[in-house]
Amino acid sequence: MNGSSHVRIARPSRDLAAAERFWIDGLGLSVLYRFESDGTTEEHSLLMAGWPDAAWHLELVDAGEIRPRPTVEDLFVVYLGEPVPEELVARLEAHGGRRVKAHNPYWDQWGVTVEDPDGYRLVLSTRQWSNG
């Protein structure tokens, strides 16, 4: 295990179609994998989204009776290293997102927070990532 190990971030979703509109059509991630359960097994439908060259992906799962329970600090932060394009925010809103005030004012100072259809928060940060 090291810094190049692939990471999967898994979350339940109330509506995979709505989540796909937000993350794929809105943010611009790619569908990396999709599984549609036919209901005859215990397996759940899921959507894996990400950028093909990234060392991570987001797995959204229709987990049946398990519902998302995001808090205002469950953040998925993308460091853009430049101003957040207003057309990107508008596209996210047009695809089911809702621009919200961040719980931590740091994120309002350094970016834009958009809530996805399940209530999880995406932060588009104007900062450049630095681990120092």
Residue 100 β-bridge partners: 113
Which pLDDT score, from 0 to 100, does residue 79 have? 96
Residue 75 β-bridge partners: 121
Contact 70, 120 (CB under 8 A): yes
> ∠ CA(29), CA(110), CA(14), 5° rounding?
40
pTM for this predicted structure = 0.92
Instruction: Give the number of residues written for the chain.
Output: 132
CATH 3.40.718.10 fits 8-61, yes or no: no
Q: Which of 58, 90, 79, 87 is nearest to 126 (CA)?
A: 79
Which pLDDT score, from 0 to 100, does residue 70 have? 95
Residue 67, pLDDT > 90, answer no
pLDDT in tens, 5-63: 999 999 999 999 999 999 999 999 999 999 998 777 777 899 999 999 999 999 999 97
pLDDT in tens, 108-129: 999 999 999 999 999 999 999 8
Helix or strand (DSSP H, E) at 113: strand 111-115
User: Top-level CATH class of 75-125?
Assistant: alpha beta
What are the backbone dihedrals phi and psi of residue 19, each rounded to the nearest 5 degrees, phi first?
-65, -40
DSSP string covering 52-88: TTSSEEEEEE--TT------TT-EEEEE-SSPPPHHH
Which pLDDT score, from 0 to 100, does residue 132 have? 60
- Residue span(s) of the chain under CATH 3.10.180.10 come to 8-61, 75-125
